[in-house]
């Protein structure tokens, strides 16, 4: 069972310390102060791939299209247990989904792949497009938002998440591509020693040219015009003060509003 997992690196913009500002170009955010890490969905996809490798044998290859800094995320994938990693050296922040999909399809098409896994979406842009696009380009069946997987005898049995907690069940003939939803497993803890061992694993870098793609393959069809900080909405009435004081005022407000 040869499994290819596509991963990407994202800036962490979820926490209070991560102040998001637009940079001078108006088309990107200031990345200087932000911590980068593996996209959360991709971590679940990697874990799922590694668990199936443990059960069925074979290989797990982590792939990405991105700049040199993204080797950090590939190293993490190797530390989690991937056998090797390949990065196509292009700045993924300036290409659109279809260009990234074209690049990844060209790469994955050259690798042995019984199963291809993508995170269902990315934390930064959240387009949820790449996986099914790559499947269509490779001409293999796909299922998006997979929350349960069983692999046996050349087939993948999957449960796809729908709205309201319902699920659809499918059987796909391998090779197939799945996009993985969070919660499908518990991604493993990465120990210091596995990080050290991962330094000896193979991490290769490829160019578009080596994949037989012309530079025009990256011309975006969806063009980013500009970024703007999200405007504040009507907004909550903020209760200030230390914990004791703020909590007391909130209790009074709840009582006066008659909600308790």
Partner 1 sequence: MAEILVVAEHRDGKPADVSLEMLSTGRRLADQAGCGLLAVVVTSDVSAFAPRLARWADSVLAVKTGKPEHSLAEPYQKALASVIRERKPNLVLLGHSSFAMDLAPALAVDVGAPLATDCTNIAMENGAITVTRSIYNGKVNALYSFAPCETVILTGRPGVFPVEEGRGKGIVEEIDLPVHEEAEYKRFEGCSEPEASEVDITKADVLVAVGRGVKEKGNLQLAEDLARALGGVLACSRPVVDYGWLPSGHQVGLSGKTVRPRLYLALGISGAFQHMVGLRGSKMIVAINKDEKAPIFTDADYGIVGDVLEIVPVLTKHILEPRR
Q: Report the residue number, 198 or 213, with the smaller CB distance to partner 1.
A: 213
Is residue 87 involved in binding partner 1 (CB under 8 A)? no
Residues 6+ apart with CB under 8 A from 72: 9, 36
Q: Applying CB under 8 A, which of residues 1, 111, 128, 203 lies at the interface with partner 1?
A: 128
Is residue 216 involved in binding partner 1 (CB under 8 A)? no
Cis? peptide before 175, omega within 30° of 0: yes
Q: Which of residues 132-171 bind partner 1 (CB under 8 A)?
A: 132-133, 135-137, 141-145, 157, 159-171
Is residue 114 involved in binding partner 1 (CB under 8 A)? no
Pairing of strands 142-152, 176-180: parallel
Q: Report the residue number, 72 or 168, with the smaller CB distance to partner 1.
A: 168
Is residue 182 involved in binding partner 1 (CB under 8 A)? yes
Residue 115 C-beta: closest distance to partner 1, Å = 14
Is residue 97 involved in binding partner 1 (CB under 8 A)? yes
Residue 54 C-beta: closest distance to partner 1, Å = 20
Q: Applying CB under 8 A, which of residues 129, 149, 180, 206 lies at the interface with partner 1?
A: 129
- Rounded to an integer, what distance in angstroms lies between the CA atom of residue 57 and that of residue 161? 28
Residue 80 C-beta: closest distance to partner 1, Å = 17
- Rounded to an integer, what distance in angstroms lies between the CA atom of residue 260 and that of residue 45? 44
Q: Report the residue number, 212 or 220, with the smaller CB distance to partner 1.
A: 220
**Which pair of structure tokens corresponds to residue 17?**
């310390």
Is residue 244 involved in binding partner 1 (CB under 8 A)? yes
The interface region with partner 1, picked from 45-53, 59-67, 80-88, 118-126 by CB under 8 A, is 118-126
Is residue 35 involved in binding partner 1 (CB under 8 A)? no
Is residue 260 involved in binding partner 1 (CB under 8 A)? yes
Whether the Cβ atoms of residue 3 and residue 59 lie closer than 8 Å to each other:
yes
- Rounded to an integer, what distance in angstroms lies between the CA atom of residue 243 and that of residue 233? 25
Q: Which of residues 65-84 bind partner 1 (CB under 8 A)?
A: none
Is residue 29 involved in binding partner 1 (CB under 8 A)? yes
For residue 72, give Cα distances in angstroms to 87, 119, 192, 199, 218.
11, 18, 14, 11, 24
Residues 6+ apart with CB under 8 A from 87: 63, 64, 65, 66, 70, 71, 74, 203, 204, 205, 206
């Amino acid at each position: 069972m040869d499994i290819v997992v596509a991963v990407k690196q994202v800036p962490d913009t979820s926490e209070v310390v991560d102040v998001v500002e637009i940079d001078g170009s108006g088309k990107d955010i200031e990345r200087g102060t932000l911590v980068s890490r593996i996209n959360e969905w991709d971590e679940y996809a990697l874990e799922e791939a590694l668990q199936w490798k443990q059960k069925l044998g074979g290989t797990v290859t982590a792939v990405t299209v991105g700049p040199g800094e993204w080797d950090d995320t590939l190293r993490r994938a190797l530390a989690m247990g991937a056998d090797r990693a390949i990065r196509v050296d292009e700045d993924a922040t300036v290409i659109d989904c279809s260009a990234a999909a074209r690049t990844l399809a060209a790469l994955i098409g050259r690798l042995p792949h019984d199963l291809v896994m993508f995170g269902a979406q990315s934390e930064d842009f959240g387009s949820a497009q790449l996986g099914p696009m790559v499947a269509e380009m490779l001409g293999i069946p796909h299922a998006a938002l997979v929350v349960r997987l069983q692999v046996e005898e050349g087939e993948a049995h999957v449960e796809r998440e729908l709205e309201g907690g319902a699920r659809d069940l499918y059987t796909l003939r391998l090779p197939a591509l799945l996009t993985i939803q969070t919660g499908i497993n518990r991604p493993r803890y990465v120990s210091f020693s596995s990080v050290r061992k991962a330094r000896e694993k193979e991490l290769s870098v490829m160019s578009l040219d080596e994949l037989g793609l012309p530079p025009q393959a990256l011309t975006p069809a969806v063009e980013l015009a500009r970024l703007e900080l999200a405007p504040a909405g009507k907004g909550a009435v903020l209760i200030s003060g230390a914990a004791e004081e703020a909590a007391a005022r909130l209790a009074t407000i709840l009582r006066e509003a008659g909600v308790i």
